[in-house]
């Protein structure tokens, strides 16, 4: 039997039952379990199934599951998040931005650390609301459906009334020369307001975004105090950022 043929049968089986066991597949297709394991591994990452311990499940199956399963570059983001929570100090007043990296950070806040957290991101708020030791304040306003954050004049006004020890920010694009930039003008206005409201701004940014730019500018690099990537601070990729008054983590 051809490999392609076998893989097609595997996809059919998953489509039909939403889940399959590797042992069942091996028996049904009359090949060793290693072979089906390799097949499933190849098919994993496609749009049809996801490999799990002991078998595979159809993509739609776990789609409703709670896990933030389909976060792009999850490992990198978790590495960044881990460094970021390292900066947190007992009793600090911090702001946490929306975006998946910041969401990971919120997830990783240690369970005993007392904090006051501000956010305007619904997913981040849901995370933090589950932490009784975190004093959570949501900055209200009109919620934009794509990003699940509040934005607009009202929100920006509210930001003028507070002052954070640290703001943990994401960005769409970042470049040593052009600073932090975004695709969306409204988002820029919002982030500007956050930076104005914070004593120290910490940028959480996967290395992929380094040296990219877009239309609208949030701020220069030197308005950021610390930049956290998943890379080692000594990495060559960070060279362009090294001669700035910027702490790299």
- Residue that is written with structure tokens 């590495």 in the block: 79
Q: Is 32 in the site for DNA (CB under 7 A)?
A: yes
In terms of CB distance, is 61 or 138 closer to DNA? 61
Q: Is 78 in the site for its own copies (CB under 8 A)?
A: no
Cα three-residue angle 72-104-88, rounded to 5 degrees: 145
Beta carbons within 8 Å of 81's beta carbon, 6+ residues apart: 101, 102, 104, 105, 107, 108, 204
**Segment interacting with DNA (CB under 7 A) among 45-53, 101-109, 218-226, 236-244:** 45-53
Q: Is 31 in the site for its own copies (CB under 8 A)?
A: no
- Cα(97)–Cα(77) distance, integer angstroms: 14
Number of residues in the chain = 249
In the complex, minimum distance from the CB of residue 2 to its own copies, in angstroms, rounded to a whole number: 5
Q: Is 144 in the site for DNA (CB under 7 A)?
A: no
Among 24, 26, 31, 48, binds its own copies (CB under 8 A): 48
Q: Is 23 in the site for DNA (CB under 7 A)?
A: yes
Radius of gyration of the chain (CA): 22
Applying CB under 7 A, the residues found at the interface with DNA are: 1, 3, 6, 21-23, 31-35, 37-39, 41, 51-55
């Amino acid at each position: 039997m051809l490999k392609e043929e076998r893989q097609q049968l595997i996809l059919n089986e998953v489509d039909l039952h939403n889940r399959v066991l590797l042992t069942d597949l091996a028996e049904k297709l009359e090949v060793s379990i290693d072979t089906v394991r390799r097949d499933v591994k190849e098919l994993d990452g496609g749009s049809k199934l996801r490999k799990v311990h002991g078998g595979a499940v159809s993509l739609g199956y776990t789609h409703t599951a709670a896990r933030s399963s389909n976060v792009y570059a999850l490992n990198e983001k978790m590495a960044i998040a881990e460094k970021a929570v390292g900066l947190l100090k007992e009793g600090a007043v911090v702001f946490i931005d929306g975006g998946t990296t910041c969401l990971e950070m919120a997830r990783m806040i240690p369970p005993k650390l007392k904090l006051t957290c501000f956010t305007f991101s619904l997913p981040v708020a849901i995370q933090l609301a589950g932490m009784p030791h975190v004093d959570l304040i949501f900055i209200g306003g009109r919620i934009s459906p794509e990003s699940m954050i509040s934005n607009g004049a009202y929100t920006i006004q509210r930001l003028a009334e507070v002052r954070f020890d640290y703001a943990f920010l994401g960005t769409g694009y970042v470049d040593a020369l052009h600073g932090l930039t975004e695709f969306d003008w409204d988002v820029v206005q919002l982030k500007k307001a956050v930076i104005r409201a914070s004593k120290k701004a910490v940028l959480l940014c996967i290395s992929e975004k380094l040296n990219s730019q877009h239309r609208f500018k949030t701020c220069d690099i030197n308005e950021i105090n610390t930049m956290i990537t998943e890379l080692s601070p000594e990495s060559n990729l960070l060279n362009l950022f090294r001669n700035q008054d910027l702490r790299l983590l």
